[in-house]
Structures are given as C-alpha cells and as structure tokens.
Structure 1
Amino acid sequence: MIICSDAAWKEDLRAAGLGWTISNQELGLKLARSETRNHVGSPLVAEAMALLAALRHAKTLQLTMVTAFSDSQELIKSLNGRPSDKHLYGVLHDIMSIRDLFSSISFYYVPRKNNGEADSLAKRALTTSEPGLL
C-alpha cells in the first residue's frame, strides 16, 4: 500500500491541516482523508503529524506493508537517520512506535508536484475549518 501525506500550516493560528491518501493500484483502492489540528508548533511538526495520522489510519485498516511518501525532505531524513529538530522528537517517537506494528514499512521523499492530492487535502482541511475550532 502507498501512503502519501502532507500538511498545511497557518502560523498566526498555530493550526495545521493534515491530508493523506492510502492507495493500491492493483486492488483499485484509494482512500483520502484530512483533519485539522490546533497548537502545532511548526510546518515540520505538522508534516510529521500528517504522516502519523496516515499511519494510524493504515493500522485501523489492518494494513501490514506500506510505503510512505512525504514532500518534506527534512522529515524523511529524520525518519531514515538522525532527527535534526528537537521539536520533532515526540511525534517521531510516535511514528517509530507505530512503525514497529507493520511487517514492512519504508519512508521516501516525493517532490511536492507529485504529492498534489495530499497537498490539496491538507490545504482544504485548513481553509475550511470553522474559525471556532482553531
């Protein structure tokens, strides 16, 4: 299964829109989801939260093998090496914990132009949120 995730962040509100897709062309399966989160400290943390939400969704679907794509190079480097942003540690810990629940998982960078659906979902989640929720 292929997971693509992205986030949109609004600095003045410290809010993020998270978007992700889960797909398998062979099975003809494509799911798209989004949500909004408050009290998000940075765009990088928002990107990590989007990936975490996607992985949690994949686990509820009882998926065991996933390949995850994000257009955040820094996030992918942190997942495949050493984290560089101390604000990311908590979310990275959660991602690493859920990672162990999959029999196979890998993380890859994808250019933003190739991550359009997740990007659109994240932006839409952020811009269509009710102001009272933020």
Structure 2
Amino acid sequence: MSRGVNALDTINLGLMRAREWKEAQSELPKSPFVEVKSRGRSSPYAIVCHTDGAWSREHRAGGMGWIFQDKNKRQINRGSSSRGHVSSPLVAEGLAIRHALDHALSIGISVIQVASDSQQIVTAITNGNRLSEIYGILEDIAHLSSLFIEVNFISVSRKTNCLADSSAKLALRAFLAPGD
C-alpha cells in the first residue's frame, strides 16, 4: 500500500532544504562577479559605453539604452531595448548593462569601459555584492565580461549619463505606446 505525500511533510522538507541552501551560500567566499580586467585606468583604446535603465512602476516595464563613444567622445554606435515584466529600476539598470555588453561583442568591441549612473550596480559588479534581486543578471554580466580583452566598470553622474538616459526613456515610451 502506497502512502500519499502529506502536505505538511512536503512544506517541512522544502523549508529544511531552503535553510540548507542558505547556509551553504554564506559559506561561499565573497568574490567579485566580474574580474575587472583593467590595469588601473581604462585603456586609452577603450570604447566607453554609457548605459541606463528606465522603469515604469505602473506597467512593470523597462527601457534600456546604451551609447558607445570613442576616446574623443564621438558617438560610434548606440542601442536600446525594452521589455515587460521588469520588477524594479535596479533590474532595468542591470538589463541595460547586459544588453550593452552583448551589443558590444556583436559589433566587435574587445576593450570597453562601461559607465552607469547606478552606483549600486557598479559596486555589485566590481565588489561581488550578491544582490538577490539581480543575481542572474549579474551572472550574465560576469559571463559576457569574460569575453572581452579588457573591461572596466565605473559609476558616473546622472548628468554625464544623459544620452543613455534619453535612449532608455525613449525605448520605454515606445514600448508603452505601440503604434503611436
């Protein structure tokens, strides 16, 4: 005679496994998600990529924008993206960096400096802060970063990041108002 699974036993087992997982995570050494492959300052040959994310609380949607500039601050390329089911501004910022790195690789950039006005994201990437809200995005950023010869992440002011900000907001606006 087979015994049915008791709901309470299932819940208890799940809680026990979750506790075990959490304890195992705290035992892991804290290391940066991305080994910043830079020699102090960014290479003079690095392409600077400004990224930004825009978020709509009402629609739970995000717009992401990025601008590539050469050492003379001339725009050489740009991109934007948008999507639904974005849970926070932090997620939108992380997605912007992930999309920008992917775009950079697709157009042959191998030395890059990523500039974001989200100090929280830059700190998480460079210091290995494990932000559970964007853990998967940080892992994607780490993987993409490993494909560059040199990568550097810096935090910049919002004023410095206005072109990427405009691109992200335009992408979000277009996503929210299709056909206009």
Same fold (TM over 0.5): yes
2:153 alignment partner, one of 101, 107, 117: 107
RMSD value, Cα: 1.8
Any idea what the Cα deviations from partners look like across 1:72-126, whole Å, max 9, x if unmatched? 0100000011324201100000000010000100000000011000000001111
1:79 & 1:28 partners in 2: Cα distance? 26
Structure 1 position 2 matched with structure 2 position 2: no
After TM superposition, the structure 1 = structure 2 runs for residues 49-128 of structure 1, keeping only pairs within 5 Å, are 49-128=95-174
Compare relative contact order (CA 8 Å, sep 6+) and give the higher one, 1 or 2.
Answer: 1
Aligned to 2:90: 44
Q: Which runs of 5+ in 1 are unaligned?
A: none
**How far apart are residue 20 of structure 1 and its match?**
0.4
State the one-letter code of the partner of 1:125: A
Contact 1:83–1:89 (8 Å) recurs in 2:
no
Which of the pair is proportionally richer in strand?
A: 1
Identical-pair percentage: 35
SS in 2 for 1:12: coil
Tell me: CA distance 1:26–1:115, structure 2 relative to 1, closer, same or farther (3 Å).
closer
1:120 & 1:27 partners in 2: Cα distance? 17
SS in 1 for 2:148: coil
Contact 2:83–2:175 (8 Å) recurs in 1:
no
SS in 2 for 1:101: coil
Max Rg structure: 2
SS in 1 for 2:175: coil
Moved more, 21-30 or 90-99: 21-30
SS in 2 for 1:52: helix
Structure 1 outlier segments of 4+, above 4 Å: 26-29, 130-133
Q: Which runs of 5+ in 2 are unaligned?
A: 1-46
- Number of residue-to-residue matches in the alignment: 133
